[in-house]
Amino acid sequence: MRVRMLRTVGPDMYGEGDHAHAGNVYDAGMNQHGAVWVKLHDGSELGVKPDEYEVAFADPPELARLPEVVRLRWALRHATAVIDVLVRGDDVISPEIAEEALAQCRTALAPEPK
């Protein structure tokens, strides 16, 4: 998974160490509880909160484990990009690819399993 930071975030303890900078994209992962961390340039990992990042890329199983607010933000951005291309009439993506992308959005919007 890769995430784009929405704001600059640093370590909680005294603010020392590498930071994840707003606008940059980082490799990321999740623990078994769905908490997300980013891999910083110095090799360390930094935990990030749902309002501090957006998903740049994730496989469907990863996306399904993310917090609902993150999935909704991703689905809205993804669907908007697909619709913009279709409305412009560019032959950039085929209808099949567009349908697959929108299906991913529907999956992201599905309620969390209880």
% of residues, the chain, pLDDT over 70: 89
Instruction: Write down the pLDDT at residue 27.
Output: 95
Residue extents of the structural domains in the chain: 1-57, 59-114
Q: Is the pLDDT of residue 78 over 70?
A: yes
Kind of pairing between the strands at 53-57 and 45-48 = unpaired
Specify the higher pLDDT residue, 86 or 34.
34
* Third-level CATH fold of 1-57: SH3 type barrels. (2.30.30)
Please count the other Cβ atoms lying within 10 Å of the Cβ belonging to residue 16: 7
Summary mean pLDDT of the chain: 82
3 state SS of 23: coil
Q: What is the pTM of this model?
A: 0.70
Torsion (CA) 35, 21, 77, 91 in degrees, nearest 10: -130
14-57 pLDDT tens trace: 667 789 999 999 999 998 888 899 999 989 999 999 999 988 88
